[in-house]
Structure 1
Amino acid sequence: METTIPAPLATALHDSTMVAHERAETATFITRLMGGEGTADGLVALLRQSLPVYEALEEACRGIGADPRIEPILDPLLDRTETLRADLQTHEQAGRSCDIVVPAVEDYVAELQACEGNAAALIGHHYVRYLGDLSGGQIIRTMVRRHYGLEDGLTFYEFNIDKPKVYKDNYRSALNALPLSDEDRREALDAATRAFELNHRIFLDLEAAGIR
């Protein structure tokens, strides 16, 4: 019987999350913000929701130690917590702030805290957040600058990485080389899908809260 060779992990992550990814990126809140029909306050609200998510993710990644199943993709250059705090402070000084943390964020944080010590699940969350920031995040930065005249308070979307495309290619290669069992691989794929679903729920909650 012919043995089916599984797709490289980076390919599997992309393909298995395609539906959840599309659902998230076409949510009304984010399409309105990207299309210039939102406000700068909407961006600030989005950054405010992101802060506890990255705090939880980066805490979990620091706690995983040198586990070879995830260590090769961990890189302090990707950390976003401090840039988020700085951006929110910049916006607050300009009179823009958000005190709301929507329920989906609380669920997202709980999900990440439950993944502490679980390298396989953290791979999926790491992939969704940081590869997304290096890709779609750059588009968000461009569009909010264009539509809302913002120049400051966007360091969340800026990375100290000279060649982002090369970095992303190397990241995918590192993903593909991770020493994962079949169960680890399934956990990583499932976690990535949950991450996109939670992102989608954040957008829905912001829309329901009337934030533009």
Structure 2
Amino acid sequence: MEKTLPAPLSTSLQSSTAEAHDRAENAGFITQLLAGDSGPDSLVALLRQSLPVYEALEDACRAHSADPRIAPILDPRLERADSLRADLEAHRAAGRICDTVLPVTSAYVADIVACADDPAALVGHHYVRYLGDLSGGQIIARLVRRHYGLEDGLSFYDFDIPKAKVFKDEYRAALDALPLSDAERDSAIAAANRSFDLNYQMFVELGALEST
């Protein structure tokens, strides 16, 4: 009997994380921010949580920059930590400061650090973060500018990538070509689901922070 080939990794990642993605996307903190019902301080709090996550992810990925199981999707144009630091300084100069690192942020960082020896798991985290930034992140930037009149402190959402759709298509093709075993594919998918779940919990904790 002929063995059924697995779906392309990009397809499996999208379908397997659809529920977790939807839950995170519709969290109250994000829907209020995008509706103009929050304020610039909410964005700053989100950026503050994002910084240690990207620092951990980018450090872990650089350590595997020669590993064929992840190297084809790594691109320095995607890296966000420097932009986040610059944005937070811009907001600080404008009097918008958040020095709180939430427990879920520490848990998120710990999950990434725990994947440091598992390039396939890092693929899952990488997929969630950067494709999200190139997709939903652009919506966040546009609506934040519209609702809160912000221009500075948003470089996190600006990529040196002329055609995002073309880049995303090429990224998915690179994902599909990664030489991952079945077990490694499962590890990537599991990590992507954890990443979405941690994002959702981050939005819940940010919402609770706002109400205190």
1:157-188: CA deviation from partner (whole Å, max 9, x where unpaired)? 00001111100000000000000100000000
Q: In the alignment, which residue of structure 2 is the partner of 1:29?
A: 29
1:73-131: CA deviation from partner (whole Å, max 9, x where unpaired)? 00111000000000000000011010111110000000011011211000000000000
Q: Report if the CA contact (8 A) 2:36-2:147 is conserved.
A: yes
Q: Secondary structure at the match of 1:69?
A: coil
- Measure the CA separation in 2 of the matches of 1:29 and 1:101: 16
Question: Where in structure 2 are the equivalents of 1:11-90 lying within 5 Å?
Answer: 11-90=11-90
- Measure the CA separation in 2 of the matches of 1:89 and 1:60: 25
1:50-77: CA deviation from partner (whole Å, max 9, x where unpaired)? 0000000001001123110000000111
Question: Where in structure 2 are the equivalents of 1:1-212 lying within 5 Å?
Answer: 1-210=1-210
Q: Report if the CA contact (8 A) 2:65-2:74 is conserved.
A: no
- Measure the CA separation in 1 of the matches of 2:127 and 2:90: 28
Q: Report if the CA contact (8 A) 1:54-1:80 is conserved.
A: yes
- Measure the CA separation in 1 of the matches of 2:123 and 2:3: 26
Q: Report if the CA contact (8 A) 1:63-1:117 is conserved.
A: no
Distance 1:35 1:176, change over 3 A: same
What is the deviation of 1:5?
1.9
Distance 1:211 1:66, change over 3 A: farther
Q: Report if the CA contact (8 A) 1:23-1:200 is conserved.
A: yes
Q: Which amino acid aligns with 2:163?
A: K
- Measure the CA separation in 2 of the matches of 1:163 and 1:206: 32
Structure 2: gaps spanning 5 or more residues: none
Deviates more, 1:81-90 or 1:58-67: 58-67
Q: Report if the CA contact (8 A) 2:9-2:176 is conserved.
A: yes
Structure 1: gaps spanning 5 or more residues: none
Q: Secondary structure at the match of 2:186?
A: helix
- Measure the CA separation in 2 of the matches of 1:200 and 1:211: 17
Aligned-residue sequence identity (percent) comes to 63
- Measure the CA separation in 2 of the matches of 1:151 and 1:195: 29
- Measure the CA separation in 2 of the matches of 1:211 and 1:126: 31
Q: Which amino acid aligns with 1:22?
A: D
Distance 1:52 1:211, change over 3 A: farther
- Measure the CA separation in 1 of the matches of 2:25 and 2:172: 21
What is the deviation of 1:3?
2.6
Please, what TM-score do these two structures have when normalized by structure 2?
0.98
- Measure the CA separation in 1 of the matches of 2:210 and 2:167: 37
Q: Secondary structure at the match of 2:210?
A: coil
**Number of residues of Structure 1 aligned to a counterpart in Structure 2:** 212
